[in-house]
Amino acid sequence: MSRTPPVIEEFAGADDPVVLDALSTQRRNGRGWTNIEPVIDAEYEPPAPGLFAFLGGSTHHVPTATVLAGAAHRGGFKPTTVGIEHATGPRVVARLRGLAIAVPDGWRVLQDHPRRGLVLGAPFDTPVGPLLAWVLTASSALCQVEATGRWRATIFDSEAP
């Protein structure tokens, strides 16, 4: 399977038409994924992980969220997967709930691990606007450095074989 080069879009919020259209297209086509990160000014960029960082905890002080498109599958639908790599430690679902950022109704927690991150399964038909809004809100809460308030989406759309 060949892949088209990713599209990089800097945007300001959950109502960005380019990112919403990309997420909708990925779901409709049943393929592709989008990585979303807060934009950080150079003066606030955390240092690169050291040589032995793999021995310690997570180094994702700037969270990276990935939205993987759901797809039709064997007469049903695979859920849309939402993952967030972060460095805030264990039990992030409980921490987010304490900040009034609960996992939306109908979504399932697939993984909540301090090193591998948070992975949620959202129903296939979850509207992309609320999905993106939740991702941005949760990622903002998990970011450990000062962000600009803008976001960067890297949009991947693998071509059909």
Averages of pLDDT over runs of 10 residues in the chain (161 residues) are 81 96 92 95 63 49 92 83 90 95 96 90 94 97 92 84 48
In this prediction, residue 58 carries a pLDDT of 47
Angle 92-99-78 (CA atoms, 0-180°, nearest 5)? 50
Inter-residue contact 57 to 90 (CB < 8 Å)? no
What is the spatial distance between Cα 52 and Cα 30, in angstroms, rounded to a whole number? Answer: 38
Q: Count CB-CB contacts under 10 A for residue 139.
A: 21
Question: Given this model, what pLDDT does residue 46 score?
Answer: 56
In 3D space, the residue among 108, 65, 111 whose CA is nearest the CA of residue 84 turns out to be 65
In the prediction, which pLDDT does 41 show?
84
Q: Which two tokens stand for residue 83?
A: 């993952």
Give the pLDDT of residue 71: 82
Q: Please, how many CA atoms are within 13 Å of residue 52, restricted to the half-sphere of its CB?
A: 2
Do 68 and 83 contact (CB within 8 A), yes or no?
A: yes
One-letter amino acid identity for 80?
T
pTM for the full model? 0.86
